[in-house]
Amino acid sequence: MSSLFVDEGSKLESTIDFSRFLKSAKKNWWKVLAFSVITTGAMTPLVLKMPPKYEAFASVYLKADETKPTLFEQVRSFDATRKEYYETQYQLIKARRVAASVVDDLKLYNDPEFYGKSKKPLTLAQKKDNSVAYLLKHLTVSAVRKTQLVDVGFESEKAVLAAEVANSVVQSYINYTINDNRNATDNASVLLGKQIADLKVDLQKKEDNLNAFLKKEHLITFRGIDGFQTSELSLLNENLAAAVAQRVHSEAIYKTVTSQANSGIKAASIPEILRNPQMENLHVKIIDQRTQLSDLEKRYGAKNEQVIQAKSSLAILQQQANVVIKQIVQGIKEQYQAAVLKENQLQDSVNKMTANFQKLGDKKTEYNNLVDGITKTRKIYNQLIQRQNETEVNGQFVESAASMIDPALIPQKPTKPNKKLLIAVIAIMSLLIATIFFVILAAINNKVLTISEIKRRLGLEILGEIKRYKEPLTAKSVIESNSSIPSLDEAAFGIRSAIHLLNTQSKMIAVSSTITNEGTSTVSALIAKSLAVDSRVLVVDLDFRTKALTKALADPHHVGMSELITHKATKDDCIIKLPNFDFITTGDNKTLSPLVLLTNNNLKTLFAEFNNQYDYVIFDTPAVEQGKDAALISQLVDGVIFVVESNQLSSNQIVSAINQLQSNKAKLLGCVLNKVNEKLIEAAENINPVNVKGII
């Protein structure tokens, strides 16, 4: 079971008791005040000796767009639309490179404020490093919200130096951006020059390889490597087509003449022969001669000399016609044969040219590869030359990414320290620290201090509280007090009233605690005395181990419970009559163990007899941590009152003892808080006691 839970797991601390913290602070208020006064007094001289600090600010405008004097692309450009752009510029302003430049420009490494104090002499490099670190530590860069402006501030012990450093930082940052752009342009120009030179050598090498290839393969570059061959092949194909057409035409004429001649048709009537100009001329002459012969025969008769001459002329003309026809037919044949020969020759030439053209394909592929390599290299070469020219033009105008809008002015008053405010803060903080210290002490104090904590921390009903007196209370002093201590009497009546308010029928009541010396004997006597006002009360001391109550109220050797249990004495022999109640001691047992006595069967009988004879029986029992005595007794009584000494034990330890009793089915009536500091008293009867005498 958790130390924070009792009564079958019910939660003991469900709320935070702030009143406990307030009481702790209130109780120790003078300590808190003393700590604050001492701390403030000790720190005031140190604050007054603090050197003043001056802070100066310069305003910087971060450009969102580039100034483009030409249409050429810049080597180094910026994109202000990127979310990291402005944050990057803030970090560049605080860059160590910028700080080092400022330290060198203003010779800050000679100022002790910057390089600091050192037991050993510092080298120049160490002074510069320290100065840069100091500058960066006291440099502030803050963006002006919803603008492109940035405030650059520097804090120094000297007002003039604060302004100078702030302005120098801004100027160094601007120079850095300008130099960075210029260096980028110069580096790009050098790189382009190197690449152009390399490409020029490469281009010359490729051109030499192409010329060597053309020379080796005996190629002519006319409309490409195959331009000449293509033109020549095209011309041959055209001639071949014409020759084929001519051969077809000649062949058709030749076949027509041959076929008609073979079929018996007179050659003179064949159109291809008849259309011959020479033949047409002879044909006209033959017709005219026949006409003339016919006219002469009609006029003179067949035997006329003129008729005979006319017939002779006609025969000559027909002979001439036959000769011409033979010549024409032979000419047609020869023309056909010439056309066939020409066609065959041209076809051979085309075939040879086609074969050579196909062989040229591999050479053409290699040629094209060489030409493509030269073309691509030349294109890159030209682009690089163009880019180099553009870079040279752009290099004549280099701009920064920022400009100073308002330079830092020399501050007239120090910004810090505000010594009055600092002293006030020290005073307030020391008060808070001291208060928190005592609150923490109260928070980590797990002890029960007041009756208001009993229910929350222990889970028990509150029966009452007894304050701590200057003279420690004993059972004997309680019996003999006779209202000399009003607050004690009122506390006793408060406990009596709480027992009655429980509405319990408990008559047999045991009183126990976690450890010894918490006041169980005193509380037992006090409860018995308050109940005895109107009731018969018996007090039995069952603490066989310490016999505290017996030693306080009677003779330790008087017969008592040990003798009653072992039948060595009677009740009448054991009961001692005191002014307020009857009392039975532990007895004078020196041989038997307390556990043997408490487990004796006769004990139950004695308890029953006590119950019948008295209105209340109060049993003073050993502490729970002393052994199993209290647990054994708790099983024989009607209830247990648990006594807790204020600010003595941790709640965990007390709850553990309570759990031991409850695990043995003990009925816990409630708790009495004993020895409470007077400042922590909460019960009304203890705060305002009524002085009534002669009651108890």
404-434 confidence digits (pLDDT tens): 888 999 988 888 877 788 889 988 998 888 8
How would residue 62 be classed by pLDDT, with cut points 50, 70 and 90? confident
- Lowest-confidence pick of 256-270, 426-440, 518-532, 537-551: 256-270
Q: Report, as an integer, the average pLDDT of 93-99.
A: 90
pLDDT at 574: 93
Q: Are strands 508-513 and 402-406 parallel, antiparallel or unpaired?
A: unpaired
Q: Which residue has the higher pLDDT, 559 or 479?
A: 559
Query: Domain spanning 451-685 has what CATH number?
Result: 3.40.50.300
- Lowest-confidence pick of 126-140, 229-243, 490-504, 577-591: 229-243
How would residue 503 be classed by pLDDT, with cut points 50, 70 and 90? confident
How many Å is the maximal CA-CA distance in the chain? 223
pLDDT at 358: 67
Q: How far apart are CA 633 and CA 649, in angstroms?
A: 23
Q: How far apart are CA 459 and CA 652, in angstroms?
A: 12
The percentage of residues in the chain with a pLDDT greater than 70, rounded to a whole number, is: 85
How would residue 267 be classed by pLDDT, with cut points 50, 70 and 90? low
617, 621, 529: which is closest to 579 by C-alpha? Answer: 529
Query: Token pair for residue 579?
Result: 């002014």
Q: Which residue has the higher pLDDT, 296 or 540?
A: 540
Averaged pLDDT of the chain: 83
Query: Token pair for residue 98?
Result: 């910028």
pLDDT at 549: 92
pLDDT at 99: 92
Contacts of 465 (CB under 8 A, 6+ apart): 450, 451, 491, 494, 646, 672, 673, 674, 676, 681, 682, 683, 686
Q: 67 exposed, middle or buried (CB, 10 Å; 0-12, 13-18, 19+)?
A: exposed
Can you spell out the DSSP letters for 605-624?
Answer: HHHHHHHHH-SEEEEE---G
Q: 413 exposed, middle or buried (CB, 10 Å; 0-12, 13-18, 19+)?
A: exposed
Q: Which residue has the higher pLDDT, 679 or 126?
A: 126
How would residue 7 be classed by pLDDT, with cut points 50, 70 and 90? very low
Instruction: Report residue 592 CA to chain centroid gap.
Output: 74
pLDDT at 15: 47
pLDDT in tens, 554-564: 998 899 999 99
Q: How far apart are CA 617 and CA 611, in angstroms?
A: 7
Q: Report, as an integer, the average pLDDT of 1-9.
A: 40
Q: Report, as an integer, the average pLDDT of 364-386.
A: 85
Q: Which residue has the higher pLDDT, 71 or 544?
A: 544
How would residue 298 be classed by pLDDT, with cut points 50, 70 and 90? confident
What 3 state SS string does 500-555 have? Answer: HHCCCCCCEEEEEECCCCCCHHHHHHHHHHHHCCCCCEEEEECCCCCCHHHHHHCC
How would residue 81 be classed by pLDDT, with cut points 50, 70 and 90? low
Contact between 597 and 561 (Cβ < 8 Å)? yes
Q: What is the separation, in whole angstroms, between the first and last Cα of the chain?
A: 43
Whether 686 has a pLDDT exceeding 80, the answer reads no
pLDDT at 595: 92
pLDDT in tens, 141-170: 998 888 889 999 999 988 999 999 999 999
> In the chain, what are the domain boundaries?
226-380, 451-685
pLDDT at 3: 42
How would residue 688 be classed by pLDDT, with cut points 50, 70 and 90? low
Whether 194 has a pLDDT exceeding 70, the answer reads yes
How would residue 21 be classed by pLDDT, with cut points 50, 70 and 90? low
pLDDT in tens, 629-679: 999 999 999 999 999 999 899 889 999 999 999 999 999 999 999 999 888
Contacts of 231 (CB under 8 A, 6+ apart): 222, 223
The percentage of residues in the chain with a pLDDT greater than 90, rounded to a whole number, is: 30
244, 367, 239: which is closest to 231 by C-alpha? Answer: 239
Query: Token pair for residue 304?
Result: 């006329």
